[in-house]
Amino acid sequence: MRILLDGKLLENFTAESVKEAIDVAANVTRDRGRMIVEVIVDGEKLNDEQIQDELAGSSPAEEVQFNSADGRKLVSSAFQDSIAALAEADNFQREAAELIQADRTPEAMEKLNHAILIWQSVQKAVMIGVEIAAVDPGDEKNLEDSITGAIERLNLQLTTIKDGLNSDDPIGISDALMYDMPEVVQEWRSLLHELCERVAVEVKDNVHRIEVSDN
């Protein structure tokens, strides 16, 4: 089986199945600080579902091509997207609070559900992004503590909202959404801006190392 990564043949690697080829490419790209963004098996581009099927099976192929991208740049983009998404979550939360005050609970719950989905996506982006970009959390700024604290405060407010729903306390829910959650949004926005700055430094340093090694 031929394994190509970004148009170049991986001559020193072998695989008996598409799954093994994916494992090989994943390890090589990880060592290079990159991520697989496209998988092409015998000329057919696989979607996410098809890739998961291949990972669970052992189907053969004549050639598997992989295209990759700089992992840190992808993470930086994800962080930027998360910052924009927080603005949407903030709007949904404020709208939900106003709808609750207007005794329009079903509409409020729809807005709230949208906000919660955004929060889940943002949390996932932060946790996975920090790992992929190899952001050092153990420096003097205590980034790890900042992330942990932000998650704890978010979960505390979400629990308060959940408790308000269970106890039928619309005033408590409205207050949490209108007055407490904006502070959580601001905390996460600041955290994401800091993460973006750190990833940008990592990208710059990585480019410098590549230029030095090329020389």
All structural domains of the chain with their residue ranges: 2-71, 73-214
Q: Supply the pLDDT for residue 135.
A: 67
Quick one: which of 82, 72, 85, 86 has its CA closest to 131?
A: 72
Quick one: which of 101, 71, 85 has its CA closest to 177?
A: 101
The answer to whether the CB of 75 falls within 8 A of the CB of 132 is: yes
Cα separation, 98 vs 113, in Å, equals 15
Which 8-state DSSP code applies to residue 169? -
Low-confidence ranges of the chain (pLDDT < 50): 140, 204-215
- Alpha helix segments (H runs only) across the chain: 18-31, 48-55, 71-101, 105-132, 143-166, 170-175, 181-214
**How crowded is the C-beta side of 199, counted as CA atoms within 13 Å?**
24
Q: Supply the pLDDT for residue 205.
A: 46
The answer to whether the CB of 64 falls within 8 A of the CB of 39 is: yes
Residue 1 in tokens: 């089986």
Q: Supply the pLDDT for residue 87.
A: 97
Q: Supply the pLDDT for residue 130.
A: 85
Q: Supply the pLDDT for residue 139.
A: 56
pLDDT in tens, 186-196: 999 999 999 99
Q: Supply the pLDDT for residue 202.
A: 60
